[in-house]
Amino acid sequence: MERTLVILKPSAIQRELVGEVITRFERKGLRLCGIKMMQLDDDILSEHYGHLKDKPFFQRLKDAMMTTPVIVTCWEGLNAINVVRNMTGSTNGQNAVPGTVRGDFSMSMQENIIHTSDSEENAAIELNRFFRPEEIFEYRKCCFDYLYASDEV
Ligand code: ADP
């Protein structure tokens, strides 16, 4: 089983899409392992978006991510990182395929509703960045036997 991070950005909070987005991942069959609201600061965002530090929009992106608290979530499932990435859609909401979160709800490159981890390595780093170990919970979904065949898990 893989775990991945989804951040509901200020655009999700302000557009009142929190329930909508979480419902999509629940209905897909992913297990919610952790969820909390937090106010991000410049330090954690500089780490999180470190790969973009030389881009002209770096500070503007960080400022936008601090305009409201965000909701950080951890989801678990088979191949969860790719499954969630595919449900997210491409970075620019204008190009994202309909049916994806960004394809359905975003018109913007920056204001694109959610962040989702893009690799196994980054998922581990990012979950560790936003959650303490005791904030990630183990439990068995009662519908587990109807989410996967026995030879899949
Ligand atoms: P993704 O979120 O799809 O993995 P990136 O890691 O490339 O994409 O970028 C992180 C975030 O930075 C994007 O989700 C988006 O909010 C913002 N961003 C990326 N490129 C731009 C840009 N050209 N202008 C404004 N914001 C951008």
Q: pLDDT tens digits, residue range 40-78?
A: 999 999 999 999 999 999 999 999 999 999 999 999 999
**pLDDT at residue 92 in the model:** 98
Ligand 1 atom 27: residue of nearest CA? 110
**pLDDT at residue 13 in the model:** 98
> What distance in angstroms lies between residue 138's CA and the mean position of ligand 1's atoms?
31
In the chain, what percentage of residues exceed pLDDT 90?
100
Ligand 1 atom 11: residue of nearest CA? 110
**49 and 58 Cβ atoms separated by less than 8 Å:** yes
CA nearest 115: which of 16, 67, 24, 48? 48
> What distance in angstroms lies between residue 146's CA and the mean position of ligand 1's atoms?
36
CA separation for the pair 94, 96 (Å, rounded): 6
Residue 148 pLDDT grade (very low, low, confident, very high; cuts 50, 70, 90): very high
18 contacts: CB under 8 Å, gap ≥ 6: 8, 12, 71
pTM for this entry = 0.98
Q: Does the beta carbon of 109 sit less than 6 angstroms from any atom of ligand 1? A: yes
- 24 φ, ψ (degrees, to nearest 5): -60, -45
Active site residues: 115
- Atom of ligand 1 minimally distant from the CA of 111: 16
**5 and 88 Cβ atoms separated by less than 8 Å:** no
